[in-house]
Amino acid sequence: MAKDIDLKEIASVIGTASVELDCASRSFADISALFNALGALADNPTLVHQLSALGARMSESNAATYEEESATYREHGVGLAELIRTVDAQEVKHA
């Protein structure tokens, strides 16, 4: 027999995912700043600077991706919260 879908549990999981994705985005932004600082401190700006720029670009790209995903999950969370309120309100009317 199929288990009933628990909307509140799903909303909780989506909310947790949103927070985790936001943390990942901030972590990549911090890593990007570190790569930029390493490049600025390099005595030999050629290879070290190129590698630090590559690391910074990759980190910035990942930060943007995770930020977009976090926003998507937040939107889903808001939509699900509204659905839960509607279902709860209907259950109260029928009780």
User: pLDDT tens-digit profile of 63-89?
Assistant: 999 999 999 988 988 888 888 888 777
Q: What is the pLDDT of residue 2?
A: 43
Who's near 76: CB < 8 A, 6+ residues apart? 14
pLDDT of 95 over the 70 cut: no
Q: Calculate what percentage of the chain has a pLDDT beyond 70.
A: 93
pLDDT category of residue 27 using cuts at 50, 70 and 90: very high
pLDDT category of residue 1 using cuts at 50, 70 and 90: very low
Burial of 10 (0-12, 13-18, 19+ CB in 10 A): middle
Who's near 17: CB < 8 A, 6+ residues apart? 73
Whether the pTM exceeds 0.85: the reply is no
- Quick check: helix, strand or coil at residue 90? helix
Q: Report how far residue 87's alpha carbon sits from residue 95's, in angstroms, rounded to the nearest whole number.
A: 12
Angle CA 17–6–25, to nearest 5: 5
pLDDT, averaged across the chain? 85
Alpha-carbon torsion 25, 30, 31, 36, what sign?
positive
